[in-house]
Amino acid sequence: MPTEKCFAKGSSAPGPVPKDRLRLYSMRFCPFAQRTRLVLNSKGIKYDTINIHLKEKPDWFLEKNPLGLVPALETPAGEIIYESPITCEYLDEAYPEKKLLPSSPFGKAQQRMMLEHFSKTIPYFYKIPAARRNGEDVSGQEAELKEKFAKLNEHLEKKKTKFFEGDTVTMIDYMMWPFFERIEVLELKHCLDHTPELKKWAELMLEDPAVKNTMFSGETYKAFYQSVAEGKPDYDLEL
């Protein structure tokens, strides 16, 4: 049974992945790794977690996964899969019960195009708080983020569905969610003030069982981000 505490340089490698499950290499507070955790949880896939100390990565981890990225999946056959969207599509294809992506080629293409757009929104979740810490004026960047949120709001308004691609949660909702889960601790919540549909979506997402199973409280994020700001990320916070 792997511990949740992170494995750092000098640690001994965990044993091989048991036959009946997958292994996830993760960092507990990483939003990209949370995407994979959401999909694993939502689909009810059995998996172990090995958390990695991202500042002092173990040699055995870099041997398996030379770029040292998390999230990464390892199968019992020793196959390694990394990059969060690739891990999530892999899971949806390898475990076809409860599909999160549509079956039609155009439906899949639509979700991939939305993800491409959203990937251009993600940097704002990092650069606005960093600029604010440096005492810079962030009003311009916030205006840009609000514009991106307005586009997402418009999409929901037009579709008239609860979630981005229908009335149930699909892959694209899980790809976007981790950033909205952190919106309060990043002090960006006011950017949702004029996007009521998007705000409603975020509230509905909080009721999703996979979201409930993978999320942390605002207090925990606050303490973690504080440790990051101090240059000493506390990957094992509260363990």
Binding site for its own copies (CB under 8 A): 75, 79, 81-83, 86-87, 89-90, 93-94, 105-106, 108-109, 112-113, 116
**Closer Cβ to its own copies, 81 or 205, answer by number:** 81
Place of tokens 């792997």: 2
**Closer Cβ to its own copies, 21 or 212, answer by number:** 21
**What span, in angstroms and rounded, lies between the C-alpha atoms of 227 and 208?**
29
| Single-letter residue type at 69 | L
Give the CA count within 13 Å in the CB-facing half-sphere of 146: 14
Give catalytic status of residue 88 as yes or no: no
Report how far apart, in Å, the C-alpha atoms of 132 and of each of 45, 125, 142 are. 40, 12, 11
Smallest distance, Å, CB 86 to its own copies?
A: 5
Helix ranges (DSSP H) in 15-104? 31-42, 59-64, 84-94
| Single-letter residue type at 11 | S
**Closer Cβ to its own copies, 109 or 143, answer by number:** 109
Smallest distance, Å, CB 109 to its own copies?
A: 4
Smallest distance, Å, CB 107 to its own copies?
A: 10
Smallest distance, Å, CB 113 to its own copies?
A: 6
Contact between 28 and 73 under an 8 Å Cβ cutoff? The reply is no
Nearest to 56 by CA among 6, 120, 116, 123: 6
Q: Which residues are catalytic?
A: 30
